Amino acid sequence: MRPNQKVETFPDGIVDVYVEANRTIGTEPIVRLRFEEQSVGIRRYYESQESTAGNRIDRLIKVPHTTIVNRMNIAVMVTEDGKQYRIQRIQEKPERHVDLWELQNIQVKIREQ
C-alpha cells in the first residue's frame, strides 16, 4: 500500500455476477463480490437519459478490481430481493484496486436446472 493511499471498503452488500444468454442467466455466478454504493450524480444521470442508445444508469457501485467480469454481464444483488442489473460500463481504477460499475435495471429469468 502506498503512503496516504485510501483504504477501500465495500460495506453495502454482496453482488453475484452471471453470464446472460437468450434472456436467461446461468445457475452459478462467475464471481461474488462485496460492493459499496456510489452516487450516480445528476450530470451522469441526465447524460444517460439523453443517450441515443437508451442506456440509462439506475445504479453505480464500487467493487474490488477484477478482470473476469465484462460489460453486459448480469449483476444480481444478493442482499436485496435479487434485483438484477445489466452492467453497462466498467470504469477500471486498477491503481486503487477498484472498479466502478454503471448498472441498468433489467429482469431476466434464472435458468432452471
What pLDDT digit, counting tens, does each position of 51-96 carry?
555 668 889 999 999 999 998 899 999 987 789 999 999 999 888 8
Q: Does domain 13-110 have CATH number 2.60.40?
A: no
What pLDDT digit, counting tens, does each position of 10-34 carry?
999 999 999 988 888 988 999 999 9
**Alpha carbon distances (Å) from 7 to 10, 23, 96, 97:** 10, 38, 9, 10
Tell me the domain boundaries of the chain.
Answer: 13-110
Say what the pTM is. 0.81
